[in-house]
């Protein structure tokens, strides 16, 4: 049986690591070919790995990548994982879309945090969309935009209208350019843009992000629930520069304005959002090149 996965860094000789990977990164065959880079794993009747094919930008990959993934060492050892496929959806601008990037929150309180400039509002996901109904509530997204690095940002959405920042000893490295900015009354609001999720296709020329399976900029980084030890479920990822600033406490002539002029995550990065639907613990992380 052939199974298709995104082409990412994973140790095929480590069963537990691959099981987590497969639960997130198994994709349909047609999506694999649309991405143009993928891994095809062939499992035999006994459930053991028989063959691994890697395709990088449309061409067979037979070099270093195979060694990094320990492809040959896993033959006859790696067991077929029990993982469902995750079709990839493109998040595209749509005037009648249920979801938003940007805008100002309504009936929602941005959680307070120890960050000097707090968290900023990113947008919202409606649970009325069948694709996101598993979330169980209308999901308002926040992230620290004045931070140049953090590993993960955890938010407890037990009360979806007033979530709580979770201090899991995460270090937040705030932009030094903001040292002279007064945090009192600081705010940014981005122009709202409605979007909807459509199946990935060659006609998806430009999209705001994706959902279904995470498309990693760097190595996979699955958030693990600190209490249950289980990986959180992927919600979506949003690309930088999807919308522009609508209003801010900082004037356009201020030297830090360039950091905020576009909705951006570490410049040109990607924001990834994960959620555990049972405990409603969310995790945000950013990757960029």
Q: Could you read off the pLDDT of 39-70 as tens digits, one per residue?
A: 999 999 999 999 999 999 999 998 899 999 99
Which pLDDT tens digit goes with each residue over 193-215?
999 999 999 876 678 999 999 99
Classify residue 267 as left (phi > 0), alpha (psi -120 to 50) or beta: left
> What is the per-residue burial (b if ≥16 Cβ within 10 Å, else e) of 56-66?
eeeeebeeeee
* Amino acid 205: pLDDT: 67
Q: What is the pLDDT of residue 182?
A: 87
Tell me what the mean pLDDT of segment 142-160 comes to. 94
Compute how many other C-beta atoms are within 10 angstroms of the C-beta atom of residue 2: 12
């Amino acid at each position: 049986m052939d199974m298709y996965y995104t082409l990412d860094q994973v140790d095929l000789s480590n069963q537990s690591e691959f099981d987590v990977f497969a639960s997130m990164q198994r994709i349909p065959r047609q999506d694999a070919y649309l991405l143009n880079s993928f891994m095809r794993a062939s499992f035999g009747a006994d459930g053991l790995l028989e063959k691994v094919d890697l395709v990088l930008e449309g061409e067979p990959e037979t070099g270093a990548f195979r060694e990094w993934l320990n492809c040959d060492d896993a033959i006859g050892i790696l067991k077929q994982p029990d993982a469902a496929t995750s079709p990839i959806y493109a998040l595209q601008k749509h005037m009648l879309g249920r979801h938003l990037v940007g805008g100002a929150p309504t009936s929602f309180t941005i959680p307070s945090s120890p960050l000097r400039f707090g968290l900023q509002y990113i947008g919202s996901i409606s649970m009325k969309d069948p694709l996101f109904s598993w979330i169980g509530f209308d999901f308002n997204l926040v992230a620290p935009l004045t931070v140049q690095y953090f590993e993960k940002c955890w938010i407890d959405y037990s009360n979806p209208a007033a979530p709580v920042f979770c201090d899991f000893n995460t270090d937040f490295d705030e932009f030094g350019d903001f040292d002279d900015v007064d945090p009192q009354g600081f705010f940014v609001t981005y122009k709202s843009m409605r979007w909807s999720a459509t199946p990935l296709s060659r006609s998806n020329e430009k999209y705001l992000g994706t959902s279904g399976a995470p498309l990693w900029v760097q190595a996979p980084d699955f958030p693990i629930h600190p209490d249950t030890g289980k990986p959180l479920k992927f919600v979506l990822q949003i690309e930088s520069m999807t919308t522009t600033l609508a209003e801010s406490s900082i004037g356009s002539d201020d030297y830090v304005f360039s950091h905020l002029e576009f909705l951006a995550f570490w410049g040109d990065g990607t924001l990834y959002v994960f959620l555990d639907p049972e405990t409603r613990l969310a995790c945000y992380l950013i990757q960029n090149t």
